[in-house]
Amino acid sequence: MCCVVLCLSFSSNLFNSILKRMEAAKPLINAFRTKSKQATLLWLEGFREACCLHRVFILCYRSRKLLIRTGQCFLLNGFIFLGSIIILNSVIVPALHWILPDRCPEFSSQELCSFGGILKFYSFLRLGLIQLFYVTWFYPLYVFSIILSNIWYNDIAKYGFAAMGRSGPTTLDPVRQNEASALQIGAGTERPTGLGGVMIGIGEQVYSLLLLSCFFLEVYVTGFIPYAGKALNFLLLSWMYAYYCFEYKWNFSEVRLDKRLDFFESNWAFFAGFGSPCVLPVLFFSPLVSYGFMAILFPLFVLTATGSEAEQVISSQRTKWEVAGFGRLPIFNAADTLSMRVLSLFPQESQELLQKKKDS
């Protein structure tokens, strides 16, 4: 009887302890639920902003130069690059399989087919011809497309920015009150004029290029992580392409690098949503085909970013929240650390100059 009473008493105490812990965890659960809802809403806003492709038609209607450059991107990456892949897979490869079969046809000489080495030779020759097509056409076209497309992307952003009728610098200034980020657009610290301003601009561009190169390396490495690697790679790619899309606009608006990074990391959910449509082909196609689709889509999202009022969209969402925002996520922290390691290989004077331009 005593054992039964002790067991009941122990069970009661254990149950009460579990209830107390659940009650103590309720605020954390509610806070997590609230933050998740905020992040989801901002992600959806970013996705919706990226899909406002009507801005592309409006800007192309306003600028003939923009229309031509955008058409050239479609011609190179869509018609020529993707068209070459379609011709390879639909015409050349089936033709090679017909000319150099991997199985013995019924109408062929059985004596010839009994010699297995001929089929192996056909297979080797067929694969060699396909690889020759890649080496002599696809890979040079791929490199040529990357170089020329990047030049055209800058022109597209420049013509789109001009078509918006914007001129003069603007400044992003993420302001925090009790760890809540609110975006303001106003006058900020301007760059010094003359040679000093030019040097600061060059320093920012060098550091930005190094930072994004390290971030791309981080994206590439995450693709090899088992199980979660694909999802993490997709998320990082979304952030990378979203940053690229808005970087053109921020460059022409003369937004300082530290302000860009602060604004981007403070609104990571919005930019994850904005970059998602551009990198969707990665989930469904091979690397070469997905590059072709992304090269077509990217200038469209550059223009939607140019015409986007992301600051007002994010600010309007934050005003609806009765609690603080979810804070800044150090997306570029690992890339920044790696960039500093790379800079440490340079002479001390160059390190101090780049660090000063980074902090300015």
**Tens of pLDDT, residues 45-98:** 899 999 988 889 999 999 999 999 999 999 999 889 999 889 988 888 888 888
Higher pLDDT, 322 or 204: 204
Q: Most confidently modeled of 21-25, 130-134, 205-209?
A: 130-134
Here the tokens at position 180 are 């809540």
Q: What percent of the chain is predicted at pLDDT more than 90?
A: 18
Q: Which residue has the higher pLDDT, 184 or 355?
A: 355
Assigned token pair, 83: 């068209």
Q: What's the longest Cα–Cα distance across the chain?
A: 94
Q: What is the mean pLDDT of the chain?
A: 77
Across 247-259, average pLDDT: 86
27 DSSP 8-state letter: H
Q: What span, in angstroms and rounded, lies between the C-alpha atoms of 338 and 342?
A: 6
Segment 175-196 shows an average pLDDT of 44
Any residues with CB less than 8 A from the CB of 235 and at least 6 apart, and which?
Answer: 272
Do the beta carbons of residue 280 and residue 301 sit within 8 Å? no
Whole-model pTM? 0.77
Which distant-in-sequence residues (6+ apart) come within 8 Å of 345 by Cβ? none
- 272: how many CB neighbours lie within 10 A of its CB? 22
CA distance between the termini of the chain: 78
CA torsion through residues 291, 296, 302, 308, sign: negative
In whole angstroms, what is the distance from residue 154 CA to residue 142 CA?
Answer: 19
Q: Which of 161-165, 192-196, 237-241, 330-334 has the highest mean pLDDT?
A: 237-241
335 pLDDT more than 90: no
> Taking phi first (over 0 means left), then psi (-120 to 50 degrees means alpha), and beta for anything else, what does residue 181 get?
beta
Least confident of 108-122, 206-220, 338-352: 108-122
pLDDT at 1 over 70: no
The confidence score (pLDDT) of residue 168 equals: 46
Q: Is the separation of the CB atoms in 143 and 46 below 8 Å?
A: no
Tokens 């989801």 sit at which residue?
A: 40
Smallest CA-to-CA distance from 276 within 294, 299, 292, 291 is with 294
More confident call, 212 vs 29: 212
Scored b (16 or more CB within 10 A) or e, 126-155 reads beeeeeebeeeebeebbeebeeebeebbeb
Token representation of residue 157: 């952003």
Q: Which of 304, 159, 189 is nearest to 241 (CA)?
A: 304
Contact (Cβ atoms closer than 8 angstroms) between residue 334 and residue 82? no
Residue 4's CB is within 10 A of a number of other CB atoms, namely: 8
**Cα gap 312→319, rounded to integer Å:** 10
